[in-house]
Structure 1
Amino acid sequence: MITTASRRLAPVLAPVLTTVLAASLLVAAPASADGGRYSADIRRTEYGIPHISAKDHGGLGYGYGYAFAQDNVCVMASWVLTLRGERSRHFGAEATSDDVMDPISNLASDAYYTYVRSSGVLRRVLARPAPYGPSAELRALVDGYVAGYNRYLSDTGVARLPDPTCRGKEWVGPITASDVWMNLLDLGRLGGSSSFKEAIAASGQAARKPPQEDKPDRPDGKTPAPGSNAWALGREATRDGHGMLLADPHFPWNGSRRFYQVHLTIPGVLDVSGGSLYGTPMVQIGHNASLAWTHTVSHADHFTLYRLTLVPGARTTYLVDGRAEPMGRQEVTVAVREAGGTIGQVTTAVHTSRYGPVLGMDWTRTSAFALADANAANLRFADEWLAFAAARDVPALRRAQDAHQGMPFVYTLAADSGGQTYFADTSIVPHVTDEQAARCRTFDDPGLLVLDGSRSACLWGRDADAVEPGIFGPAAQPRLARADYVTNANASPWLTNPAAPLTGYPRVYGDTGTRRDLRTRVGLDMIAQRLSGGDGLGAAGFTLDTLQRSATGKRNLSAELLRTDLRALCRARPVMTASDGTKVDVRQACATLAAWDGRARLDSRGAILWREFFLGLNRPHRRDDGPPAPPDGWWKVPFDAAQPLTTPRGLDVTHPVVESALADAVRSFTAAGLPLTLTPGQAQRYGTVPVPGCTEGEGCFDRIRTGGELGDQGRYPDVNTGSSFLMAVELTPAGPRTRTVLTYSLSANPASPHHADQTELFSRGQWVSERFTEAEISAYPKLATTRLR
């Protein structure tokens, strides 16, 4: 969900360094080295899903850490090296880090994480009392998780690990509580500092390099990539009057940001099931007996940049209100494996300001930029998720949000068994009012908030109801409670429910009255058709079955909006001109697209041809050798804020790019010998498993993303992002009825039976019926139990 930063920093850093157990088996694990403080039971049902129970939070973490290590020890071991800043020591400085959201060089990654660790921020946060620092329950959970993970590693031995990826590797070893806290801190920073790792690491080099020519460039920031769908359905939208929820987060399919499916129970205290990001000992997206919640990435700003005015002749001193302030300087030393295997050291520095770290990009003789991250010292979200797990209804969840105010970069959507629904952006947002933004903004760029660092009047403000200064409090946050539905697909809060548009919130939370992306529009249309019964799925109103079928219908909104006009063009012009002037016969392609079912199912013949055509529509193009034309100027009806759900629409067939996009797509297929009827099942894979779905830009709800372009063999690179942990929940008075599918399966271990079993389910459009109650779990005929004492 975070896009990759500009690679302009490469020249700056380059000089720095040229078990599935038998049925009903009960395993008594050997005595542990922790003095017997922890105990837990791990029971596994279908697809290896673990149900962990313990008498307290420490024991619960112990069982969870052990279970997670059984399935994903190698991913965690590698990520711990990243968090410790030790990748260069083991893999060399030039290799790419394992951060799938922002892969940078090991050296840059190590410099950043070493800086964070040595800055003391984690020590300061952990020293604070709750709710500013972790609660006693959370600390016990983390400590137990570490002990459980290490217990598995000790019991198994590095040389006997079942995963060949890291079996016998010298970089695999025990973890510490500091590693888990760092992982949580880093998770909170995904919407801010983690987007600027490379720039922060380059700070010391930028401070020493020769002055550049002054220029008014803006720094390159990164914003969360689109991803995740969420529906919370209330009693007026469901057939039986129950609350329902659809969770469809779009997180990476590889690496440390995957979800792990788990059920956690402390009798009488906690009973929660759902998706938990790797290395975190709590559920982020899930449900208990009467409440379900999920998240999507917020459109709010979670950081600001400050433009520093430098003192003439002093590139590490800046002015505030006319007074000179020296930058701080923090030395960072990274151990590096050199040629021949020797270990050397590289020392650089990170410069800091009153606002935060100074970025090593666009640093001239007169100005530099500093990053102010609202989540730089935030761990409150971890206790907030524990509070969600214990809440019994929407009002209790809201109280938990007001108390902790910790959500780092996500919206929250929830539903309860009483049929209440709720949306809120309670994420940590810098207190920058519209008036202050207008007064202090230094760049006219709506996508990046850069404030004037030379005036203290441009510091973030404060709200009386905020848990800490510098952020907006609950009263300013966009919130909506409904009895029908609330929804989000990563757009701003404006059309959470079109019947009650949200307005009046500060601009840093997002825009209003602007064009919605196609995924948002198709999701809202899917709900509207289900509520009217116009989608062909039976009587109006949601049931658990129709919720599942709606969510995985594989609609392609761009085709629905444009195909009729394209057909008309095909009839009028069977031979079209490619972008290089070549004449191309498009009759067979037009017939293929006319016969296509308009979906992105495995066997949808023509879906890939449409994608390549649509991609061509959106590539920059020129008219009469002039400047590039707008990439989407081919819409027939432009966006109208009064009709946001139906505009833009239609294809302007007179626009020259329409003809050339289809001709180019046909010619590329023909040149490679590919059938125009190429299907998603043929073109898209995750390993050996065919994957249905289409892309964000096409207007696909349950979207996928591949790692590159269509190859000559008719295959895209493997799917790397998209629907990840699908969860559909109906909250009945008798308890939850839940269907799930973990698209990439439970284990990253290629030798595990649970490495691709749920991926095959996802490929076939099937779901797992969750076992939540004790009776459901005990009824599983192949129940495997591990008892840790």
Structure 2
Amino acid sequence: MPRSHVRRPLAAPLVAALVGALLVVAPARAAEGRHTSQGRYAADIRRTEYGIPHISAKDHGGLGYGYGYAFAQDNLCVMASWVLTLRGERSRHFGAEAMSDDAVDPVPNLAGDVYYKSVQASGVLRRVLARPAPYGPSAELRALVDGYVAGFNRYLNDTGVARLPDPACRGKEWVGPITATDVWMNLLDLGRLAGGSSFKEAIAASGQAREGAGERTGGPDGQAPPKTVTAPGSNAYAIGREATRDGHGMLLADPHFPWNGSRRFYQVHLTIPGVLDVSGGSLYGTPMVQIGHNASVAWTHTVSHAQRFTLYRLKLVPGTRTTYLVDGRPEPMGRQEVSVTVKNAHGVTSAVTTTLSTSRYGPVLATGWTEETALALADVNAANLRFADEWLAMGAARDLPALRRAQDTYQGMPFVYTLAADAGGQAYFADASVVPHVTDEQAERCRAQDDPEMLILDGSTSACLWGEDAEAIEPGIFGPAAQPRLMRADYVTNANAGPWLTNPEAPLTGYPRIFGSVGTERDLRTRVGLDMIAKRLSGDDGLGAPGFTLETLQRTATGKRNLSAELLRPDVRALCRARPVMTAGDGERVDVRRACATLAAWDGRARLGSRGAILWREFFLGLNRPQRRPDGTPVPPKSWWKVPFDPGRPLTTPRGLDIANPVVRVALADAVRFFTAHDLPLTLPPGQAQRYGDVPVPGCTEGEGCFDRIRTGGPLSERGRYPDVNTGSSFLMAVELTPAGPRTRTVLTYSLSANSASPHHADQTELFSRGGWVTERFTEAEIRACPRLSTTPLR
């Protein structure tokens, strides 16, 4: 993709500003106490069905005030607990060994506290907040955050800790007012979700590795990189006028985020007359809509395949563990002392102090630190808050060109693709996210270690520092011209695969490999999502005439198809006819005839009553488990697909089941034996096997090829139950952008409130279980027509 840009190595001070900032003295909390509700803020909170709040105010401060108050009414305890995490104070209240409340990456409290204290001590937040917009927050965003804090604290003050309605934190000594720093830290941490935040333990343990006391990790060279946490996934369709029956733009948002903790969505409608009128999903503790719509534009996000960080392998000076070489010159590591207060089993508190190490690239990690080398982390989102203003600007955009201008102005999306549609019938895809400027040539030249999941570069030469684009808002990142983008009048889609097959009629290519691969196998969820669109456009899905309507979009999104069953069940039938008795992994002979009859009669879906869906899941999971011989030695992996992946046929390969592969027979025999050994019915349906609290949940797993997928907290028990659903379709939103205004259907799968005593704790979960949707009230007339409308004026 041709573009004009300046290519020059990034100077060390600039790298330090970008990525060394990972490790932040927060502004003094006392200074933030100046924002109170004494006549400064005014807002109205109106609640419609399912408790959904509609906040209106005359300015951003008032809007934040109303939002903070409404959110505290529903979810104060979750936020109060998360604030302890962000402050590095969990060990003080709950002990060092207990696990943190991070639903994406729970770690022991002490490790989390050390990490977050190191972020505070680095000063990055102070530096970012000192910058003018668009590099730092705008005046509107600052007012929104200050108002949000004041509104949250107003509810807490009016109610009192001892009288909180949520028993999870009622009367707890760790509940208290929040500060603007807490909200900014929450935003900063959200930006690092796919980068520095997933290295908490490796950063926290670097003090031991610095002194050589850490346990040697990895293979013979000690260089195995630390584990990383994959950010939650999503599905999305943006549909243009050529793919809809009435020529309107449409959008399907189906983010797959955690069902518990601080990464849940809160449904909200935010209005400043003449300035902002946006409705959608907003992650806890963030006072703006991340996935939503206004009167003429709708947008959503899916997790991008682009890399958010690079690791740098440092070459240590012989005889020292804390000095490394760059261009042949020694450079000492920085020292960062972190102190955490810890409560022991007897309730006595004491301070635990550790010294962490930093480099010009970012924090030095504990994993892989030897006498010769160490690894440092360079996170492209280490000092990024621009996405918050970007979401505000996207919410105010009147069409896709305006939305694109917002993205080009702020260039801040932290780890997500953007898919959007407008009332003019255009559909848009972009990886407008922040990506390290590492060209394909530089990646090959500087690669210090082969790793399939992350890029490890040579830190001993400045020639391997990130490059620069002239049009990029910050040094070290790719500018908009390099980003994969596509505008269509039919559709664009993504289910967390790379950009390549956003629309198979116009494959995206030519972008740097750090954005994602081209010509590689797509997972089953991506394939079923594309097939669902193809069948809707041809009318072959049984939903009527070709083309999308709002109703067929809803039915398509929640059809509960299982692509693995569609692809493999015919071969399973053939296997069953040929081998009615199969051998399990331990050598036991298993009669599979009743199981085969169950799978043959199954409807192939993952509805609540789909009899045989769970048996299929256990068989399919068994296909992908590591196999061992009876003596315990591992079986060399061999693909069980009959037809392997063909880059020329990416939508239909791989396919078929190689029934001659013994892994297939073992997997089926093992699954059947588990059911029979524990007296579980082979017809066990999802409605009995998977729940969220007391509510049965439909759906199946991503690996099976399920579009609207769910994930449970562990394996099937001997009682025929999975642990509660913990991830999956979270805020479903289907929007049709008509000339008369948006028609929208939504469902918040885990409901609006985490408070078990709230009437809105499980009401939408029960709706989701039944396959229902909420008809959104967006216009003033629609809101006023709500028969149970309640209004809370805040002054």
Q: TM-score range by the shorter chain?
A: over 0.9
Q: Give a deviation string over 1:18-74, Cα, whole Å, max 9, x none.
A: xxxxxxxxxxxxxx9532000000000000000000000000000000000000000
2:317 is the counterpart of 1:311: yes
Counterpart mapping for 1:345-424 below 5 A:
345-424=351-430
Q: How far is the alpha carbon of 1:343 from its aligned partner?
A: 1.5
Which residue identity does 2:487 align to in structure 1? A
Q: How far is the alpha carbon of 1:624 from its aligned partner?
A: 9.8
**How far, CA to CA, are the matches of 1:259 and 1:584 in structure 2?**
46
Aligned residue for 2:98? 95
Instruction: Pick from 81, 88, 91 the counterpart of residue 85 of structure 1.
Output: 88
Aligned residue for 1:595? 601
2:497 is the counterpart of 1:494: no
Q: Give a deviation string over 1:199-258, Cα, whole Å, max 9, x none.
A: 111111110124859715331241525620000000000110000000000000000000
Q: Give a deviation string over 1:598-636, Cα, whole Å, max 9, x none.
A: 000000000000000001111112579897556561100
Is contact 2:222–2:368 with CA below 8 Å preserved after alignment?
no
Q: How far is the alpha carbon of 1:757 from its aligned partner?
A: 0.2
Q: How far is the alpha carbon of 1:370 from its aligned partner?
A: 0.3
Aligned residue for 1:710? 716
Is contact 2:222–2:369 with CA below 8 Å preserved after alignment?
no
Q: Give a deviation string over 1:628-676, Cα, whole Å, max 9, x none.
A: 5565611000000000000000011000011111111110000111000
Q: Give a deviation string over 1:718-775, Cα, whole Å, max 9, x none.
A: 0000000000000001000000000000000000000000000000000000000000
Which residue identity does 1:419 align to in structure 2? G
Aligned residue for 2:69? 66
Aligned residue for 2:653? 647
**How far, CA to CA, are the matches of 2:633 and 2:704 in structure 1?**
26
**How far, CA to CA, are the matches of 2:363 and 2:227 in structure 1?**
14
Query: Using a 3 Å threshold, how does the CA distance of structure 1 residues 630 and 762 change in structure 2: closer, same or farther?
Result: farther
Query: Using a 3 Å threshold, how does the CA distance of structure 1 residues 35 and 349 change in structure 2: closer, same or farther?
Result: same
Q: Please say which of residues 221-230 and 756-765 is displaced more in the overlay.
A: 221-230
SS of the residue 2:322 aligns to: strand
Aligned residue for 2:15? none
Q: Give a deviation string over 1:129-161, Cα, whole Å, max 9, x none.
A: 000000000000000000000000000000000
Is contact 2:104–2:229 with CA below 8 Å preserved after alignment?
no
Is contact 2:222–2:370 with CA below 8 Å preserved after alignment?
no
TM-score (norm 2): 0.94
2:150 is the counterpart of 1:147: yes
Aligned residue for 1:15? none
Instruction: Pick from 444, 450, 454 the counterpart of residue 444 of structure 1.
Output: 450
Q: Give a deviation string over 1:491-528, Cα, whole Å, max 9, x none.
A: 00000000000000000000000000000000000000
**How far, CA to CA, are the matches of 2:46 and 2:633 in structure 1?**
63
Aligned residue for 2:210? 207
SS of the residue 2:646 aligns to: coil
Q: How far is the alpha carbon of 1:339 from its aligned partner?
A: 3.1
Aligned residue for 1:328? 334
**How far, CA to CA, are the matches of 1:78 and 1:620 in structure 2?**
38
2:160 is the counterpart of 1:157: yes
Is contact 2:598–2:682 with CA below 8 Å preserved after alignment?
yes
**How far, CA to CA, are the matches of 1:105 and 1:385 in structure 2?**
33
**How far, CA to CA, are the matches of 2:757 and 2:673 in structure 1?**
42
Which residue identity does 1:662 align to in structure 2? L
Is contact 2:751–2:762 with CA below 8 Å preserved after alignment?
yes
Query: Using a 3 Å threshold, how does the CA distance of structure 1 residues 603 and 324 change in structure 2: closer, same or farther?
Result: same
Which residue identity does 2:127 align to in structure 1? R
Which residue identity does 2:170 align to in structure 1? R
**How far, CA to CA, are the matches of 1:138 and 1:144 in structure 2?**
10
Q: Give a deviation string over 1:398-421, Cα, whole Å, max 9, x none.
A: 000000000000000000000001
**How far, CA to CA, are the matches of 2:259 and 2:395 in structure 1?**
25
Which residue identity does 1:411 align to in structure 2? Y
Instruction: Pick from 749, 758, 783 the counterpart of residue 752 of structure 1.
Output: 758
Is contact 2:281–2:292 with CA below 8 Å preserved after alignment?
yes
Instruction: Pick from 484, 492, 505 the counterpart of residue 511 of structure 2.
Output: 505
**How far, CA to CA, are the matches of 2:141 and 2:652 in structure 1?**
47
2:54 is the counterpart of 1:51: yes
Aligned residue for 2:479? 473
Query: Using a 3 Å threshold, how does the CA distance of structure 1 residues 192 and 97 change in structure 2: closer, same or farther?
Result: same
Is contact 1:218–1:443 with CA below 8 Å preserved after alignment?
no
**How far, CA to CA, are the matches of 2:376 and 2:578 in structure 1?**
57
Q: Give a deviation string over 1:424-452, Cα, whole Å, max 9, x none.
A: 00111000000000000111223210000
2:624 is the counterpart of 1:618: yes
Aligned residue for 1:176? 179
Q: Please say which of residues 160-169 and 336-345 is displaced more in the overlay.
A: 336-345
Aligned residue for 2:727? 721
Which residue identity does 1:778 align to in structure 2? R
Q: What CA RMSD, in Å, does the superposition of the two structures yield over aligned residues?
A: 1.3
Percent identity (aligned): 82
Which residue identity does 1:74 align to in structure 2? C
Is contact 1:556–1:599 with CA below 8 Å preserved after alignment?
yes
SS of the residue 2:280 aligns to: strand
Aligned residue for 2:188? 185
**How far, CA to CA, are the matches of 1:641 and 1:268 in structure 2?**
50
**How far, CA to CA, are the matches of 1:499 and 1:653 in structure 2?**
34
Is contact 2:436–2:477 with CA below 8 Å preserved after alignment?
yes
Count of residue pairs the alignment pairs up: 758
Aligned residue for 1:734? 740
SS of the residue 2:368 aligns to: coil
Is contact 1:618–1:632 with CA below 8 Å preserved after alignment?
no
Instruction: Pick from 667, 670, 692 the counterpart of residue 673 of structure 2.
Output: 667
TM-score (norm 1): 0.95
2:262 is the counterpart of 1:256: yes
**How far, CA to CA, are the matches of 2:379 and 2:353 in structure 1?**
25
Is contact 1:233–1:415 with CA below 8 Å preserved after alignment?
yes
2:44 is the counterpart of 1:41: yes
Q: Which runs of 5+ in 2 are unaligned?
A: 1-34
Aligned residue for 2:700? 694
Q: Please say which of residues 285-294 and 212-221 is displaced more in the overlay.
A: 212-221
Instruction: Pick from 114, 122, 127 the counterpart of residue 124 of structure 1.
Output: 127
2:231 is the counterpart of 1:228: no
**How far, CA to CA, are the matches of 2:757 and 2:345 in structure 1?**
33
Instruction: Pick from 686, 695, 701 the counterpart of residue 680 of structure 1.
Output: 686
Aligned residue for 1:427? 433
Q: How far is the alpha carbon of 1:362 from its aligned partner?
A: 1.2
Is contact 1:431–1:461 with CA below 8 Å preserved after alignment?
yes
**How far, CA to CA, are the matches of 2:700 and 2:786 in structure 1?**
35
SS of the residue 2:84 aligns to: helix
Which residue identity does 1:611 align to in structure 2? R
**How far, CA to CA, are the matches of 2:561 and 2:197 in structure 1?**
34
**How far, CA to CA, are the matches of 1:454 and 1:327 in structure 2?**
13
Aligned residue for 1:568? 574
**How far, CA to CA, are the matches of 2:450 and 2:36 in structure 1?**
60
Which residue identity does 2:546 align to in structure 1? A
Is contact 1:226–1:490 with CA below 8 Å preserved after alignment?
no
Aligned residue for 1:464? 470
Aligned residue for 2:20? none
Is contact 1:694–1:700 with CA below 8 Å preserved after alignment?
yes
**How far, CA to CA, are the matches of 2:696 and 2:345 in structure 1?**
41
2:290 is the counterpart of 1:284: yes
SS of the residue 2:412 aligns to: coil
